[in-house]
Structure 1
Amino acid sequence: MTVAVETGTWQLDSTASTVALRHRTMWGLVTVKGAFAAVAGNGEVRSDGSAVGTITLDATSLDTRSAKRDEHLRSADFFDAANHPEITFSVRSAELRDGEEVHVVGQLTVRGISRPKSVTARLVGADDKSLTLEAEFTVDREQFGMGWNQLGMMRGLTTVTGTLRFTRTTAA
Structure 2
Amino acid sequence: MTVAVETGTWQLDTGASTVGLKHRTMWGLVTVKGAFASVVGAGEVGPDGSASGTLNLDVTSLDTKNAKRDAHLRSADFFDAENHPEITYAVRAAELRDGDTVHVSGRLTVRGISRPHTLTAQVTQVDGDAITLAAEFTVDREEFGLGWNQMGMMRGLTTVTATLRFTRTVA
* CA root-mean-square deviation: 0.8
Superposition deviation, residue 48 in structure 1: 1.6
Kindly, what percent of the aligned residue pairs are identical? Answer: 74
Instruction: State yes or no: 1:20 paired with 2:31.
Output: no
Aligned residues: 169
Q: Which residue of 2 aligns with 1:30?
A: 30
Normalising by the residue count of structure 2, what TM-score does the alignment of the two structures yield?
0.97
Q: Which residue of 2 aligns with 1:86?
A: 86
Measure, in 2, the Cα distance between the counterparts of 1:56 and 1:79.
Answer: 14
Instruction: State yes or no: 1:111 paired with 2:111.
Output: yes
Deviations 1:98-143 (A, max 9, x none): 1100000000000000000000000111111000000010000000
1:50–1:96 CA contact under 8 A, matched in 2: no
- SS of match in other structure, 2:19: strand
1:40–1:56 CA contact under 8 A, matched in 2: yes
Q: Which runs of 5+ in 1 are unaligned?
A: none
Q: Which residue of 2 aligns with 1:136?
A: 136
Give the residue type in structure 2 aligned to 1:131.
Answer: I
Give the residue type in structure 2 aligned to 1:125.
Answer: Q
Measure, in 1, the Cα distance between the counterparts of 2:68 and 2:146.
Answer: 18
- SS of match in other structure, 1:79: coil
Q: Which runs of structure 1 show a deviation greater than 4 angstroms over 4 or more consecutive aligned residues?
A: none
Q: Which runs of 5+ in 2 are unaligned?
A: none
Deviations 1:34-57 (A, max 9, x none): 000000000001112221100000
Superposition deviation, residue 6 in structure 1: 2.5
Q: Which residue of 2 aligns with 1:63?
A: 63
Give the residue type in structure 2 aligned to 1:139.
Answer: V
Q: Which residue of 2 aligns with 1:159?
A: 159
